[in-house]
Amino acid sequence: MAQASIGIIGGSGVYDIAGLENKRWQRVESAFGEPSDELLLGELNGIKLAFLPRHGRGHRIPPSEINFRANIDALKRAGVSDVISVSAVGSLREGLPPGTFVIVDQFIDRTFAREKSFFGTGLVAHVSMAHPVCHRLGDHLEAAARSAGIPVVRGGTYLVMEGPQFSSLAESELYRGWGCDVIGMTNMPEAKLAREAELCYATVGMVTDYDCWHPNHDDVTVEQIIGVLLSNADKARTLVQQAVPRLGHDATAGACGCRSVLQHALITAPEARDPALVARLQAVAGRVLK
């Protein structure tokens, strides 16, 4: 299959990428089951790109049923090295109104019903999540957003809840008390798996509304939220168009530390490793399993 260097994972409202040339949908087999959808492959400004709708086209898959492992594995198999994740989020701060894009730098993972690692019995690995996103990608995304006139905030903590229900008022206030800035349902374990796969990964949280803590929350209508969602999707496409050339011509990308995190992460002795799991991990971790 054709190889891509940049991957885009689209969240709610973002189901395609405008401006792609030579585009085609292509199925990618994963050792971890079915990805959310085929990959939309194409070129943007001459740079090869792979787009994956996280919920599938038509928004078929709820957050807890997304096969995050297959999604990341499929992108790695397609040759992707940089991943931009865009996600609809609720705001936990007055200063982050609907329409704001937040370039997230931290997560709190409150999910509990998802497979969170490629590794397991027969091949154990531990990677650092102290700084869970790629600072280099964040720099490019911030510059692209400001260039496009998109309201953007650099830095913020994303509380990832299990869903599919939204949080209670007590939970919303708890998360605010923890210092969280936005809340959503989809970036964990996505970020953890991207780190295990040695992919540079960054998240853009697209604020659609204030979470239920806000005193005016009950006045917000579904129509208003959908309007913001669609507007955010348009801005996300613009952001991608601005960011991809910057990423594609970044001469420092190859030296990024994200691409070597498995170097000292494997704990299981070579002679004790499960051959079946080793074979399954060839796309994700083949660099250190040779």
All domains of the chain, ordered by start, with CATH? 6-289 (3.40.50.1580)
Claim: this prediction has a pTM higher than 0.85 = yes
Give residues with Cβ within 8 angstroms of 38, minimum separation 6: 25, 26, 27, 28
Cα–Cα distance for residue pair 81/170, rounded to 1 Å: 40
State the Rg of the chain over Cα: 18
Strand-pair category, 82-91 with 6-10: parallel
Residues in the chain: 290
- Active site residue: 105, 209, 218, 219, which one? 209
Taking Cα atoms as reference points, which of 110, 101, 108, 92 lies closest to residue 212? Answer: 92
Tens of pLDDT along the chain (290 residues) come to 556 799 999 977 787 787 889 999 999 999 999 999 999 999 998 999 999 999 999 999 999 999 999 999 999 999 999 999 999 999 999 999 999 999 999 999 999 999 999 999 999 999 999 999 999 999 999 999 999 999 999 999 999 999 999 999 999 999 999 999 999 999 999 999 999 999 999 999 999 999 999 998 887 777 888 899 899 999 999 999 999 999 999 999 999 999 999 999 999 999 999 999 999 999 999 999 98
| Runs of H (alpha helix) within the chain | 68-77, 135-147, 169-177, 190-196, 222-248, 275-280, 282-289
209 labelled catalytic: yes
Structure tokens at 198: 């040695």
Report the amino acid identity of residue 102.
V
Catalytic site includes residue 73: no
d(CA 87, CA 239): 13
CB 14 within 8 A of CB 53: yes
Set 211, 218, 234, 274: catalytic member? 211
